[in-house]
């Protein structure tokens, strides 16, 4: 006998989206083709990139809570968001729903730091170094935010301005150069950086380029969500002890 209780099945992950119109290329969290599994989206009205990154997203907490509850009602078993700065809403959203919540890529920092050898530390690449504060890092679970070096694309050609201004056209080749410039600045200024966490969910398409340019391991919202989704829908294995090597001859 099968039991119901959900509105939608097979799409366990829900993504809370900012209200924006800029183009989202493959690899961006807001491009559904990025994911090798179905996802559900909800746009939080009034949550513009500028409002969330450069102002106070806590003013939108009720709207995020409403959208989170709606995703759970639609069948989601876990939630994430499309902005690393929403780490500030981690505790608030988690209180609103009965499912696991991972609001920000920044939540990976403590785990990645534990994996690094002595003398190495995690660095962060962000869309706005001017706006990313110790408060955001603490909300993501970082015990000593002063020990986390940060570089931003604020002064670049295209990336930060295009997204924060919500432009309908973006030069993604210029964005790639902004990513590489900021990543090189991070590791040249802080040679002890052994891994990079990408705060911004729109940075995922450039992760491979950053890895190649810096030689550092790179963690993004994509790495977080793939891990998160696997817990929601674990792989199934056959319960067998068969060893195909014993079948030969």
Model confidence pLDDT, tens digit, residues 13-44: 999 999 999 999 999 999 999 999 999 999 99
pLDDT band, very low/low/confident/very high, at 3 (cuts 50, 70, 90): low
Report the pLDDT value the prediction gives residue 20, as an integer from 0 to 100.
97
Residue 249 has pLDDT above 70, yes or no: no
Report the pLDDT value the prediction gives residue 85, as an integer from 0 to 100.
97
Contacts 24+ apart (CB under 8 A), 57-61: 57/83, 57/85, 57/86, 57/88, 57/89, 58/88, 58/89, 58/92, 61/89, 61/92
Q: Please say whether the structural domain 13-104+226-232 has been given the CATH code 3.40.50.1860.
A: yes
pLDDT band, very low/low/confident/very high, at 6 (cuts 50, 70, 90): confident
Residue 225 has pLDDT above 70, yes or no: yes
Report the pLDDT value the prediction gives residue 233, as an integer from 0 to 100.
94
Closest to 70 in 3D by CA, of 92, 105, 96, 91: 96
CB 207 within 8 A of CB 34: no
pLDDT band, very low/low/confident/very high, at 247 (cuts 50, 70, 90): low
The model's pLDDT over 129-154, given as tens digits with 9 standing for 90+, comes to 999 999 999 999 999 999 999 999 99
Q: Where does CATH 3.40.50.1860 sit in the chain?
A: 13-104+226-232, 105-220
pLDDT band, very low/low/confident/very high, at 10 (cuts 50, 70, 90): confident
Confidence (pTM):
0.93
Report the pLDDT value the prediction gives residue 86, as an integer from 0 to 100.
98
What is the dotted CATH code of the domain comprising 105-220?
3.40.50.1860
């Amino acid at each position: 006998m099968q039991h119901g209780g959900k509105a939608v099945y097979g799409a366990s992950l829900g993504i809370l989206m900012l209200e924006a119109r800029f183009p989202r290329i493959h690899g961006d969290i807001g491009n559904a083709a990025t994911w090798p599994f179905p996802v559900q989206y909800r746009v939080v009205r009034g949550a513009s990139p500028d409002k969330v990154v450069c102002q106070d997203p806590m003013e939108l907490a009720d709207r995020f809570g409403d959208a989170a509850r709606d995703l759970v009602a639609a069948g989601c078993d876990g939630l994430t968001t499309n902005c690393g700065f929403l780490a500030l809403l981690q505790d608030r959203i988690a209180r609103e729903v009965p499912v696991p919540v991972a609001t920000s890529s920044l939540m990976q920092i403590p785990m990645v730091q534990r994996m690094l050898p002595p003398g190495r530390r995690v660095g962060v690449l962000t869309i706005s170094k001017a706006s990313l504060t110790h408060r955001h890092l603490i909300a993501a679970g970082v015990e000593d935010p002063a020990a986390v070096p940060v570089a931003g694309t604020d002064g670049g050609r295209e990336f930060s301005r295009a997204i924060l201004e919500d432009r309908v056209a973006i030069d993604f080749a210029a964005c790639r150069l902004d990513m590489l410039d900021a990543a090189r600045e991070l590791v040249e200024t802080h040679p002890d950086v052994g891994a990079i966490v990408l705060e911004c969910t729109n940075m995922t398409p450039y992760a491979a380029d950053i890895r190649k340019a810096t030689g550092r391991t790179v963690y993004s919202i994509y790495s977080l969500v793939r891990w998160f989704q696997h817990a929601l829908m674990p792989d199934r294995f056959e319960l067998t002890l068969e060893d195909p090597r014993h079948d030969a001859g």
